[in-house]
Structure 1
Amino acid sequence: MGRLLVAEFRKTLTTKLWWALMIPAVLLALGFAAGWGAFANSVGDVLDGDESQAIANGLGIQIGELPMGLLAIGHGINIGLTFPVIFGVFALAGEYSKKTITTTFLTAPNRVSVLGAKMITYVVWGAIYGIVLAAVSSLGIAMTVDSSRLPTSGQWLGVVGASVLAGILATLFGIGVGAVWNSVVGSVVTLAIYLLVIENVLILLFYGLWDVPWLGGVLPNGTMNGIVGAIGAQAFGAAGVEVPAGVSDETLWVLQYVAGAPGAFSWWASALIFFLWTMVFFGAGWAANQRRDIT
């Protein structure tokens, strides 16, 4: 297993893919976190007004204690998570497309050990992506959010931990999808369209037309986003905690949406559900590659 792990790390480090995907992930995470940070900070300025303070006090909400930066940091991390998903697709589908999978399987004791080594290798890479995305997203909100509205040290550590977990699961999810599809182009195009467009449209349509607020809390992209985003929503009483009296369901959903986690139940529930999605695709890909012919 040790030699297989060394081989897998060499496969990733000797190609341009890891940094070619890291660069846009960093730029988008920084841009989204900074942009949403500026928006959240502006909302904070409005909420600091006397009239808003009076309304909030009537609802039992202490506005001065709300870390507006938490509403923005999730957006930066979540947009960046698309790239570890794509990175994971190349783990198996990339080898099939380049015909290197034959050498990999024939020089290893068995296919189970190969897939195990890939899983461990990409868990490490997923954690790296998670740490980097948390760091640049933190920089983004630090640039645009007032210091008094930034997350506390405990909240920030929670975001970093959630980002690492989300990065790991996102990468494994990509491995599973690529292994099932067995096509880099097909997997990447389908995932990009689904993660960035289709699921978001479905969530908005189901909420707007049929009043279904929980759909984002069970679909793959929504649960992946909810791992980090729900931390921000929870800080505002919109997920995973007792809802303040007088706060409507519509307000809760809007807060969840602004935090990047519409429909999320809590960060740990999102992590559990996305883990189940990951295992479904990873298990299906594992089974498919035990029977798939190599040439």
Structure 2
Amino acid sequence: MGRLIKAEFRKTLTTKSWWGLLIPAVLFAFVFSLGWGFTTNDFTDFLGSSDTRELTSMLGINVGEWPVGLLAMAHGINVGTLFPVIFGVFALAGEYSKKTISTTFLTAPNRGLALSAKMITYVAWGVLYGVVLVGAASLGTVLTVDSQLMPSAPQFLGVLGAGILATVLATLFGIGVGAMWNSVVGSVITLVIYLLIVENLLVIVAFGWLDVTWLGGVLPNGTVNGIVGAIGAEAFGAAGVTLPGLDDELQWALQYAAGAPGAFSWWASALIFTGWTAIFFVGGWLVNARRDIT
């Protein structure tokens, strides 16, 4: 197993995909956290004076104590999480497109060990993406958000852990989608369109027209975003155990500001997205355990 894992790292490091996707991931995380930092630094202007007064009375703290830095960090990390998903697609689908999968399977004792080595290797890559994304989002937040509005040390550590968990699961999710589809181009195009456009439209339409506030809390993009975003929402009483008297519209707006509309809590988002990841990853595992190679 050790040699198979070493071989997987060598294969990945000899390609441009790992740094070709890491660079835009860092840039997007930084730019989005920077932009949301400017937007939410004056949270009263962002939320509205009446909603601000209502929320202040519920939380029992003044506006100057709100950790709005969590909101900027969450958006930066969440948008960057798209790139480890794409990176994961290359794990198996990329080998099929480059015709190297035959060598991978034939040089391993069995396909189960080969696939296990890939899983372990890409978990490590997911950790790297998580640490780097949290770092980039933190930098963008520090540059725009007032120091008294930054998250506390425990909150930052929570974001760091959640960010790593999200990127690890996102990478495995990408592996599963690519493994089932067996096409890099098809998987990437479909994932980008669905994650960035289709699901977001579904969530907004469901809330605006059907008054359904929970849809984002069960769909793949919403749940992976909720792993980090719900930490920010929970700081404002809009996720986890919600504040009594908090109306649905304000709760959804706060969740949206945290990048996690519809999220129940960070751990519920993690469990649900783990389920989505398991469906695609196990499906891809089963398909590739029997797929013919040439």
TM-score bracket for the superposition, by shorter chain length: over 0.9
Q: CA deviation at 1:197?
A: 0.5
User: SS where residue 42 of structure 2 aligns?
Assistant: helix
Task: Letter of the 1:79 partner, please give it.
Answer: V
Does residue 146 of structure 1 match 2:146? Answer: yes
What is the correspondence of 1:158-173 to structure 2 with a 5 Å cutoff?
A: 158-173=158-173
User: SS where residue 224 of structure 2 aligns?
Assistant: helix
Which deviates more, 71-80 or 56-65? Answer: 56-65
Q: Which residue is 2:268 aligned to?
A: 269
User: SS where residue 91 of structure 1 aligns?
Assistant: coil
Q: CA deviation at 1:43?
A: 1.8
Encode CA deviations 1:112-161: one digit per residue, 9 max, x unaligned: 00000000000000010001000000001101000000000110000000
Q: Which residue is 1:252 aligned to?
A: 251
* Whole-angstrom CA distance in 2 between matches of 1:177 and 1:26: 23
Q: Which residue is 1:82 aligned to?
A: 82
Contact preservation (8 Å) 2:59, 2:236: no
Q: CA deviation at 1:52?
A: 7.6
Encode CA deviations 1:42-72: one digit per residue, 9 max, x unaligned: 22577898x8875445435413331011111
User: SS where residue 241 of structure 1 aligns?
Assistant: coil
Q: Which residue is 1:189 aligned to?
A: 189
Cα distance change on mapping 1:46 and 1:106 into 2, 3 Å: closer
Cα distance change on mapping 1:55 and 1:251 into 2, 3 Å: closer
* Whole-angstrom CA distance in 1 between matches of 2:103 and 2:207: 49
Contact preservation (8 Å) 1:88, 1:175: yes
Q: Which residue is 2:32 aligned to?
A: 32
Q: Which residue is 2:290 aligned to?
A: 291
Contact preservation (8 Å) 1:74, 1:260: yes
* Identity among equivalent pairs (%): 66
Cα distance change on mapping 1:189 and 1:240 into 2, 3 Å: same
Contact preservation (8 Å) 1:47, 1:53: yes
* Whole-angstrom CA distance in 2 between matches of 1:150 and 1:184: 39
Contact preservation (8 Å) 2:44, 2:52: no
Q: Which residue is 1:178 aligned to?
A: 178
Q: Which residue is 1:212 aligned to?
A: 212
Does residue 113 of structure 1 match 2:81? Answer: no
Supply the RMSD in Å over aligned alpha carbons: 1.6
Q: CA deviation at 1:12?
A: 0.8
Q: CA deviation at 1:290?
A: 1.1
Q: CA deviation at 1:202?
A: 0.4
User: SS where residue 5 of structure 2 aligns?
Assistant: helix
Cα distance change on mapping 1:54 and 1:13 into 2, 3 Å: closer
* Whole-angstrom CA distance in 2 between matches of 1:272 and 1:239: 15
TM-score by length of structure 1 reads: 0.96
* Whole-angstrom CA distance in 2 between matches of 1:54 and 1:285: 50
| Unaligned runs of at least 5 residues, structure 2 | none
Task: Letter of the 1:9 partner, please give it.
Answer: F
Cα distance change on mapping 1:2 and 1:76 into 2, 3 Å: same
Task: Letter of the 2:163 partner, please give it.
Answer: S
Moved over 6 A (4+): 45-49
Task: Letter of the 1:187 partner, please give it.
Answer: S
* Whole-angstrom CA distance in 2 between matches of 1:188 and 1:57: 43
TM-score by length of structure 2 reads: 0.96
Task: Letter of the 2:249 partner, please give it.
Answer: E
What is the correspondence of 1:122-133 to structure 2 with a 5 Å cutoff?
A: 122-133=122-133
* Whole-angstrom CA distance in 1 between matches of 2:47 and 2:170: 35
Q: Aligned pairs, how many? A: 293
* Whole-angstrom CA distance in 2 between matches of 1:181 and 1:175: 10
* Whole-angstrom CA distance in 2 between matches of 1:58 and 1:259: 20
Q: Which residue is 2:281 aligned to?
A: 282
Task: Letter of the 1:208 partner, please give it.
Answer: G
